[in-house]
Amino acid sequence: MLGFCLVGGGFIGPLHAANIAAHRRARLAWVVDLDLGAAQKLAATHGARASANLDDALADPAVGAVMICTPPRTHAAIIERAAHAGKAIFCEKPVDLDITRVDACARTVAASGVPFFVAFNRRFDPTHRALADAIRAGEIGRPEMLVLSSRDPEISPPDYVAAMPYGIFYDTMIHDFDMVRWLLADEPVEIFARTACMLDAKVNPHRDPDTAMVTLTMTSGALVHVNSSFRAVYGYDQRIEAFGEKGMLVSHNQQPTSLERYDASGIRRDPLLRFFIERYAASYARELDEFIRAIEESRAPPIAIEDGRRALLIADAAVASAKSGKAIALPA
Amino acid sequence: MLGFCLVGGGFIGPLHAANIAAHRRARLAWVVDLDLGAAQKLAATHGARASANLDDALADPAVGAVMICTPPRTHAAIIERAAHAGKAIFCEKPVDLDITRVDACARTVAASGVPFFVAFNRRFDPTHRALADAIRAGEIGRPEMLVLSSRDPEISPPDYVAAMPYGIFYDTMIHDFDMVRWLLADEPVEIFARTACMLDAKVNPHRDPDTAMVTLTMTSGALVHVNSSFRAVYGYDQRIEAFGEKGMLVSHNQQPTSLERYDASGIRRDPLLRFFIERYAASYARELDEFIRAIEESRAPPIAIEDGRRALLIADAAVASAKSGKAIALPA
Amino acid sequence: MLGFCLVGGGFIGPLHAANIAAHRRARLAWVVDLDLGAAQKLAATHGARASANLDDALADPAVGAVMICTPPRTHAAIIERAAHAGKAIFCEKPVDLDITRVDACARTVAASGVPFFVAFNRRFDPTHRALADAIRAGEIGRPEMLVLSSRDPEISPPDYVAAMPYGIFYDTMIHDFDMVRWLLADEPVEIFARTACMLDAKVNPHRDPDTAMVTLTMTSGALVHVNSSFRAVYGYDQRIEAFGEKGMLVSHNQQPTSLERYDASGIRRDPLLRFFIERYAASYARELDEFIRAIEESRAPPIAIEDGRRALLIADAAVASAKSGKAIALPA
Amino acid sequence: MLGFCLVGGGFIGPLHAANIAAHRRARLAWVVDLDLGAAQKLAATHGARASANLDDALADPAVGAVMICTPPRTHAAIIERAAHAGKAIFCEKPVDLDITRVDACARTVAASGVPFFVAFNRRFDPTHRALADAIRAGEIGRPEMLVLSSRDPEISPPDYVAAMPYGIFYDTMIHDFDMVRWLLADEPVEIFARTACMLDAKVNPHRDPDTAMVTLTMTSGALVHVNSSFRAVYGYDQRIEAFGEKGMLVSHNQQPTSLERYDASGIRRDPLLRFFIERYAASYARELDEFIRAIEESRAPPIAIEDGRRALLIADAAVASAKSGKAIALPA
């Protein structure tokens, strides 16, 4: 039974808390949030203890793992404290937004020897995983092109956007950058990015990019395209298309029901699942299970801090390209 | 170059006339219609001659084939005149609505030795044919169930309905009865039918059945379901589903374009192709070509008068079942 | 917190046990099975107590509800004991195979006043329910035809088949009979059924029908077709198509992933979800939740014993029709 | 009746010849090819005259239009001769590969006043056109992203590739560049291109790019992605996806039949239509009809030489970007 301390009760925290509570071999021991009321509320739902001070939880020997769900800029400090306390770490992406801090975290984690996991949940989506398995099984031979559509139904609130400029790369496409590396088992050598501000000033007052296209060239020569938007009115648009010498694999979108409605105006189906909570419900449960099993079996969790670091490097280069209008080379 | 005399310039006549005109090895020589004006109008479009008298055309040695597109009750007389004149015959279904007249026609045709073809056009639809080929190739092993949906977007005009009561069996499902025999290469031994009047009295004043379901049991034991309606508001609904020991084959509906529209309310595609003219455009061209090739190669056309007779027997039994509420045995 | 005694640890028992265990406001208190070892094994998984004697559990005041997962012929006796003990009853379909016993149960249940629920789980499937909601919202106007495909990937073991002849009606289509009544909010007045034995004698040694087609005529005049097979090699084939004056609604099949594979031979998708456990996972969880909420809110559970009785009457008539070859009238 | 002289009897010539022959208001008068035998063969099929000398046909007053189907480097000279002879011109894309020659042609055509049409056939595909109409009707509001997949099933023969390096831009994507301009009614201001050689040296001995990705930025700020390959083993992959503030439109691929095959391994459909001849059959017929109607109605044909010039400018810039690794600005 792995005891968890969940840090950060907002946003994705309640989803992870519920998954921990539902897992047969895990329990939610603590919820920590600077807003003690928020911590208490979430803790109460699952019979956990609450605190505004992480030390309270880290001191509890019943806590085997720390799950970090706070805003990105706070991750590094929590990682370091958890590592020093010898707790396994499950960290929401990105590890941090500053590559030097990520490097420092990596050193701290390595020195401490604690298991560390970056929660790139999409790797655990059943369809994406079936696509990955098919690539590895050689179904399309050598991959030649990858096309990813990664579109959110809405932009984050202005203060969230203000706290993380270029969130379209750091917060959204960072998932795709990880998927590209994982699906192709290869690294990009170059990136070119173009962005646009298409949303109204009312919802995007900081005029941060809300629309983006990226081209990646991989070591193998394979070409990759990713596009993103913060205004997919028809739902969370999450598609991956892998093209190779023997064919193509497509991970299609998903819908709440399989109902089809025919009338004189045509044939209608549901809009897409609304957002990540609905679309990736299975992947969130599976990534937690994989993390727990890795701890139980004393092996490294399936996504390392180096994966978080690589994805951030690509996001940094995307921003540099978008700002300069030039293709940016990526370190080997 | 096969010269055609087309009899019956209304309804399906213009479609067949255009196909004859477009065929490389055929020409439209005559259009015959009791309404001379109608004959002249259609003839003019294709540079053919027109008459209200079939004898004019039958006397023309340039006419090698007679294509019968008139109302069903007139078919038998025209068949007999064409057979006596030694012309190949292409006859719209049904051959006739009276089985004794069909038998008489069959004898006349056999005695005359002229090639004869019943225009069950659906056998020539590319997708239905691919389904038939797959059955014959053993893809689903022994066929066990067949499910056909055969729904029109509208009911015929009241006078047409009055002239052919139970048209849902004699005019519409007769196609399906032929398809069942052809797809399974088997004969039904029993039929059960149920009908309903669902349309408003305004469009169906004679209260002739406009909705129907049929169960057929085949010699092989395979079970068959057919359903029909004269009110498919979303277009001409034409599907066939063949289920067998190794799998299932489905001939799906078709649409004008492959466009898909996503918005906040869902995902929309076109309604189905509107009616038989649009849906079976390819099959009409192909059946004509098959007929012409059979004449050229001095072999029997691919659908015989016996096929027309069998389909009519099944339609008669469907009516008997619908009227009596009992399953009706079919002659071997 | 509603305490459950689950009776019958085999077949569907473990699925229901897991759903009870996962439900926030329920707990599995007892597992009862004549095979004590089986009871103990399932009980141990969920921290429940085990017994071979139902009385042990009925005597426990912590038990508020009895969930009956035993073979059909044992249902009536358990229902009566649970009713006398004043426990709410959640009963797998069919209530019983003998209509007089069902009637007796209905009287006992009514007299005892305990809440009673027949587990027609398909009513809780999200897509089927969306279809039902769309009918009720008038999207297709008056329903005119209903077409249900209800095909299992395999036949039950010979001893199971021997214990329930015509299981294709009593065990499988009984779900569809319930769906028809529920979807149309209407009762059938007549049924016609045809069956076949298509499976090899090795898997169907008793030559019980493994393939069936049924036509139902409803009070409203609407026509209904249901087809079933015990050999859908491509997975659990569960489709509903509702056709009406304003259009058509289709509840389509579902697949494990949305992956599509393109190669030179064509485009491939996954086979269907394998069987009811996979296909109706959500519906099993939802029916349990609906049952629990009804108990909590002191209202009648959403499917009454009368629904079980009606479905059985239709199944009885289907058997009578299949045996006699005649359409069978159903009591109003 | 518009008389055509078709120049260039190979490749796409026979398709256009057949469409001319089938058109009610057109006739194929001449086929001209340096290979007189080829000209005679194609001419004979349609009852036209043949010559190896264009002057023979240009001197014939029965010739109202010249259709140019020769290799690109010969287009300019033929355009100029046809313009001087006062014939309407239907020219396969590209107008020429040298922008200065295109400019010269444009001046000659303008001076002569003859109608001129560049055969960007995809604009006439029913589904692409429905997508264009939907954009213009405001269905997706302001377009924000366009994603085009434009993949051939095979590379051209080595000598053809040798004659036109970077054919992936000049011969294939030039269609997409035209579509982008047409769909968005906007011009690109910048292009970034990346290419790869993925095919075996046996089929691509000149190591000309056979795989490419392009990003275009439009005047409006909209972002466009195009990808191409000469190895789509599953057929001719032609998709367009237009994303905007109110939704998304997708022009999907098309298949020879709508048959679906279910077996234990999954669900299969046909591969895509094989290549442009099959996929764009309707668009070739429609572009011819549009050209003829424009001549008949004395209005400018629907695609001007300026459209050909713009597409070539974009292709030139794509090559410059692919060679330099830099984004290239496009002239306003």
**Among residues B187, B312, B329, which one has the least CA distance to residue C326?**
B329
Cα C229 to Cα B222: distance, rounded to the nearest angstrom: 12
Taking the C-alpha atoms of residue C51 and residue C43, their distance in angstroms, rounded to an integer, is 9
pLDDT of residue A10: 87
Q: By the 8 A CB rule, do A161 and A206 touch?
A: yes
CA distances from B129 to B122, B141, B245, B324 (A): 8, 17, 20, 35
**What span, in angstroms and rounded, lies between the C-alpha atoms of C186 and C190?**
12
Q: Which among C22, C254, C263 is the nearest to A258, CB-wise?
A: C254
Of D81, D295, D18, D318, the closest CA to residue D192 belongs to D318
Cis geometry, peptide bond prior to residue B94 (ω within 30 degrees of 0): yes
Q: In angstroms, what CA-CA distances link A222 with A135, A142, A189, A307?
A: 14, 9, 10, 20
Nearest by CB to D213, which of A212, A223, A229? Answer: A223
Residue B119 gets the label, from left (phi > 0), alpha (psi -120 to 50) or beta, of beta
A251 inside 8 A of chain C by CB: yes
Measured CA angle at B30 (ends B25, B35), to 5 deg: 145
Tokens coding B92: 């719209």
Please name the residue that has the structure tokens 């023997």. A246
Element (H, E) at A237: strand A237-244
**Disruptive mutation site among B253, B255, B267, B268 for chain A (greatest number of A CBs within 10 Å):** B267
Please give the average per-residue pLDDT across A308-330, as a whole number. Answer: 98
Q: Does C254 touch chain A (CB under 8 A)?
A: yes
Residue A217: which H helix or E strand, with range? strand A211-218
Residues in chain C: 332
The label of the residue with tokens 């009513």 reads C123
Q: Which of B266, B270, B272 sits opposite A271 (nearest CB)?
A: B266
CA separation for the pair C169, C230 (Å, rounded): 12
Rounded CA separation D114/D331 (Å): 28
Locate C41 and state its tokens: 């094994």
Contact residues for C24 (Cβ-Cβ < 8 A; gap 6+): none
| Omega prior to A94 cis, within 30 of 0 | yes
Please report which confidence band the pLDDT of residue A241 belongs to, taking 50, 70 and 90 as the band edges.
very high
How confident is the prediction along chain B (332 residues), in pLDDT tens digits per residue?
A: 999 999 999 889 999 999 999 898 999 999 999 999 999 999 999 999 999 999 999 999 999 999 999 999 999 999 999 999 999 999 999 999 999 999 999 999 999 999 999 999 999 999 999 999 999 999 999 999 999 999 999 999 999 999 999 999 999 999 999 999 999 999 999 999 999 999 999 999 999 999 999 999 999 999 999 999 999 999 999 999 999 999 999 999 999 999 999 999 999 999 999 999 999 999 999 999 999 999 999 999 999 999 999 999 999 999 999 999 999 999 87
Give the separation between CA B294 and CA B291, rounded to whole angstroms: 5
Put simply, the answer to whether D271 touches C266 (Cβ < 8 Å) is yes
List CB contacts (< 8 A) between C251 and chain A.
Answer: 257-259
Q: In B, residues 143-172, which contact C (CB 8 Å cutoff)? A: 144-145, 147, 149, 151
Q: Give yes or no for a contact between B289 and B271, defined as CB atoms under 8 angstroms apart.
A: no
pLDDT (tens digit per residue) in B282-322: 999 999 999 999 999 999 999 999 999 999 999 999 999 99
C-alpha to C-alpha distance for D197 and D261, rounded to whole angstroms: 35
Distance between D189 CA and the closest CA of chain A, angstroms: 12
Q: Most B CBs within 10 Å: which of D257, D270, D273, as the mutation test of the B interface?
A: D257
Measured CA to CA, the distance from residue C95 to residue C76 in angstroms comes to 7
pLDDT at res. A11: 87
D142 φ/ψ angles, rounded to the nearest 5 degrees: -70, 125
- Residue A63, pLDDT > 90, answer yes
CA distance D320 to C290: 65
C34 Cα distance to chain centroid = 23
Find, among C30, B261, C85, the residue nearest to A265 by Cα: B261
Residue D24 — pLDDT band, cuts 50, 70, 90?
Answer: confident
Q: What amino acid occupies position A235? A: G
Radius of gyration for chain A, computed over Cα atoms and rounded to the nearest angstrom: 20
Task: Cis check for the bond before D94: say yes or no (omega within 30 of 0).
Answer: yes
- DSSP 8-state symbol, C272: P
A217 interaction partners in chain D (CB closer than 8 Å): 194
Considering only CA atoms, which of D64, D115, D69, D66 is closest in space to residue D92? Answer: D69
Q: What are C316's two structure tokens?
A: 């009885």
B113: alpha, beta or left? (left if phi > 0; alpha if psi -120 to 50): left
Q: Which residues contact D200 (CB under 8 A, 6 or more apart)?
A: none
| Residues in chain B, overall count | 332
Amino acid at A209: P
Chains that touch A (3 or more CB pairs under 8 A): B, C, D
User: Alpha helix (H) ranges present in chain D?
Assistant: 13-22, 36-46, 54-58, 75-84, 99-112, 126-136, 158-163, 167, 174-184, 276-279, 281-296, 305-324
Find the CB nearest B269 among A233, A266, A271.
Answer: A266
CA torsion, points B200, B204, B208, B210, in degrees to nearest 10? -60
User: CA D253 to CA D235: how far, in whole Å?
Assistant: 10
For chain D positions 11-30, those within 8 Å of chain B (CB to CB) are 22
| pLDDT score of C126 | 98
Instruction: Identify the burial level of D326 via C-beta atoms within 10 angstroms of its C-beta, where 0-12 means exposed, 13-18 middle and 19 or more buried.
Output: middle
Cβ-based contacts of C246 with chain B (< 8 Å): 233
* Helix H or strand E encompassing D239: strand D237-244
- CA distance linking residue C208 with residue C198, whole number of Å: 10
Task: Give me the DSSP letters along C206-261.
Answer: T----EEEEEEEETTS-EEEEEEES--TTS-EEEEEEEETTEEEEE----S--EEE
Place of tokens 């042990």: C56
Q: DSSP assignment, residue C300? A: -
H or E stretch including B150? strand B143-151
Given a cut of 90, is residue A331 above it in pLDDT? no
C138 and chain B in contact, CB less than 8 A: no
Phi, psi angles (nearest 5°) of residue C51: -155, 160
Please state, in angstroms and rounded to a whole number, the distance separating the CA atoms of residues A140 and B187.
45
> Which amino acid would we find at residue B111?
A
Q: How far apart are CA D94 and CA D199, in angstroms?
A: 25
Q: Does position D332 have pLDDT exceeding 80, yes or no?
A: no
Q: Contact, C330 vs C214, CB < 8 A?
A: no
DSSP 8-class letter at B121:
G
The HSE-up count of residue D300 (CA atoms within 13 Å, CB side) is 10
Asked if C245 and B198 come within 8 Å (Cβ–Cβ), the reply is: yes
Q: What residues 38-97 of chain D have any CB closer than 8 A to a CB of chain C?
A: none
Cα distances from A180 to residues A242, A314, B212, D118, in angstroms, run 10, 11, 54, 40
CB contact under 8 A, D266 and C265: no
Q: Which residues of C touch B212 (CB under 8 A)?
A: 223
- Enumerate residue ranges in chain C where pLDDT < 50: none
Say if the Cβ atoms of B250 and D263 lie within 8 Å: no
| CA–CA gap between residue C91 and residue C309 (Å, rounded) | 13
Rounded to whole angstroms, the Cα distance separating B43 from B65 reads 16
pLDDT above 80: residue A332 = no
Q: What is residue D11's predicted lDDT score, i.e. its pLDDT?
A: 87
Residue A91 main-chain phi, psi, to 5 deg: -120, 130
Cβ atoms within 10 A of the Cβ of B201, count?
Answer: 9
pLDDT in tens, A2-42: 999 999 998 899 999 999 998 989 999 999 999 999 999 99
- For the stretch C82-122, pLDDT in tens is 999 999 999 999 999 999 999 999 999 999 999 999 999 99
The structure tokens listed for C198 are: 């298509």
Position D132 scores a pLDDT of: 98
Among D65, C250, C203, which residue's Cα sits nearest to residue B253? C250
Average pLDDT over residues A233-239: 98
Taking the CA of residue B301 and the nearest CA in chain D, the distance in Å comes to: 25
Q: Give pLDDT, residue B191.
A: 98
C228-237 tens-digit pLDDT: 999 999 999 9
For residue B158, the surrounding DSSP H or E stretch is: helix B158-163
Look up tokens 């769909």; give the residue: D183
Q: What is the mean pLDDT of residues D67-79?
A: 95
pLDDT of residue C3: 98
d(CA A133, CA A155): 32
Residue with tokens 């038990």: C63
Give the pair of three-digit tokens for residue C121.
């789980």
Tell me which chains share at least 3 CB pairs under 8 Å with chain B: A, C, D
DSSP symbol at C10: S
The answer to whether B264 contacts A271, with C-beta atoms less than 8 Å apart, is yes
In the predicted model, what is the mean pLDDT of chain D? 97
Q: Which residues in chain B are closer than 8 Å to A271, comparing Cβ atoms?
A: 262-267
- Tell me whether the omega of the peptide bond preceding residue C94 falls within 30 degrees of 0, making it cis: yes
Which is it for strands C259-263 and C266-269: parallel, antiparallel or unpaired? antiparallel
Q: Does A258 touch chain B (CB under 8 A)?
A: no
